[in-house]
Amino acid sequence: MKLWHSGPSPFARKVRICAIELGLAARIEEIAVTVAPSKPNLELARRNPLIKVPALEAEDGSVLYDSRVICEYLDALAGGNRLYPAAGAARWDALRRQALGDGVMDAGILRRYELALRPEALRWADWLAGQQAKVDHGLDAAEREAGGWGEAFDIGHLTLACALGWLDFRFPDSGWRNARPQLGAWYARVSARPSLAQTTPSA
Ligand SMILES: N[C@@H](CCC(=O)N[C@@H](CS)C(=O)NCC(=O)O)C(=O)O
């Protein structure tokens, strides 16, 4: 299999963590690419028409995107229901938690693009604040449940860990741990997992 990814991407990191957790990493060749919405990577567009990472060439040669589809594909390839609870409330909870982590990353990345790519004179403070509100409320929701997670590690926990790792990487002074002690303690614990330690975001 081939994985198109980029070092800073928290969505690509989801896939890399899944691959390690599921014992599939050795079967995946990683291809690093550069992505930015202001400079469409037309080579990547041949794999993912949305021109985003991650994209995965699966075992049958088809190309899958986005991270949600790829992570679930890898889980199935590894026998199924390893990172995705099989059914019932546990499954919906894990998928909702994945949506929470993905949403925090989406909002954070939109802020990052606004701050790093958009010319300063064109930046829109209200829009930046609106995205920040999604990050803040998302993390507050995670804080309310983090105390009950224990050692569980499903696709939802994995995704939230990617969101927090990415915030530390791109916004090291964000102070997200302030007033979120449960989430901070959980993240410190979960960061010791080899799959997370081996995939820290890089420029
Ligand atoms: N929903 C997608 C989001 C992927 C995404 O936003 N990737 C970013 C990098 S972190 C990207 O490729 N951005 C390039 C662009 O927006 O043009 C997923 O889960 O894979």
Neighbours of 137 (CB within 10 A): 14
Q: What is the pLDDT of residue 94?
A: 98
Please report how the helices 155-170 and 125-146 are oriented relative to each other, as an axis angle in degrees rounded to 10: 130
Residues with CB under 6 A from ligand 1: 9-11, 35, 37, 51-54, 66-68, 102, 109
The pLDDT tens digits of the residues spanning 95-108 come to 999 999 999 999 99
Model pTM score? 0.98
Give the pLDDT score at 5: 98
Report pLDDT for 179: 94
Distance in angstroms between the alpha carbons of the first and the last residue of the chain: 24
Measured in angstroms, how far is the CA atom of residue 135 from the centroid of ligand 1? 17
The predicted structure's pLDDT at residue 187: 98
CA 67–ligand 1 middle distance (angstroms): 9
* Residues sharing a CB contact under 8 Å with residue 111, sequence separation 6 or more, in sequence order: 128, 131, 132, 135
